[in-house]
């Protein structure tokens, strides 16, 4: 919507599914989303830590729950999200030092980030299963 009296005649696109974002934007947005996911899942991690330390019986029960495929899949998702967030944070720190700030090298850095995350996902999958 244009403010009353505005002479701005640019088109307004409210359909977000038609917007083609560059890979650098996807990397930045994904970094923020992964941070929110990690923050939310930290509640489960603290619960698991508490359950593992409460007693031997509680530890054994937690171990049996975590050995199931559903729990392994959730743990895999957490570890991949954590890996992505850590790697994206390192990428941002490198960019803060002035390396990879232009669009071409920023796009290359984002592509490397996604490739490294894919490798981490495979490595975590092999380690868990």
First to last CA, the chain: 52
pTM check: above 0.85:
no
Number of H helices, E strands in the chain: 4, 0
pLDDT in tens, 36-66: 999 999 999 999 999 999 999 999 999 999 9
d(CA 129, CA 121): 12
Q: Which CATH architecture has domain 23-128?
A: Up-down Bundle (1.20)
Tell me the domain boundaries of the chain: 23-128
pLDDT(119) > 80: yes
């Amino acid at each position: 919507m244009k403010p009353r009296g505005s002479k701005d005649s640019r088109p307004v696109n409210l359909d977000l599914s038609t917007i083609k974002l560059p890979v650098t934007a996807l990397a930045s947005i994904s970094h923020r989303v992964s941070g929110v996911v990690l923050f939310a899942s930290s509640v489960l991690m603290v619960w698991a830590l508490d359950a593992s330390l409460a007693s031997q019986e509680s530890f054994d029960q937690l171990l049996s729950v975590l050995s199931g495929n559903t729990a392994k899949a959730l743990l895999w998702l957490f570890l991949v999200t954590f890996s992505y967030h850590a790697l994206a944070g390192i990428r941002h720190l490198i960019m803060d030092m002035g390396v990879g700030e232009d669009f071409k090298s920023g796009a290359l850095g984002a592509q490397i980030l996604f490739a490294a995350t894919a490798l981490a996902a495979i490595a975590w999958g092999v380690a868990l299963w």
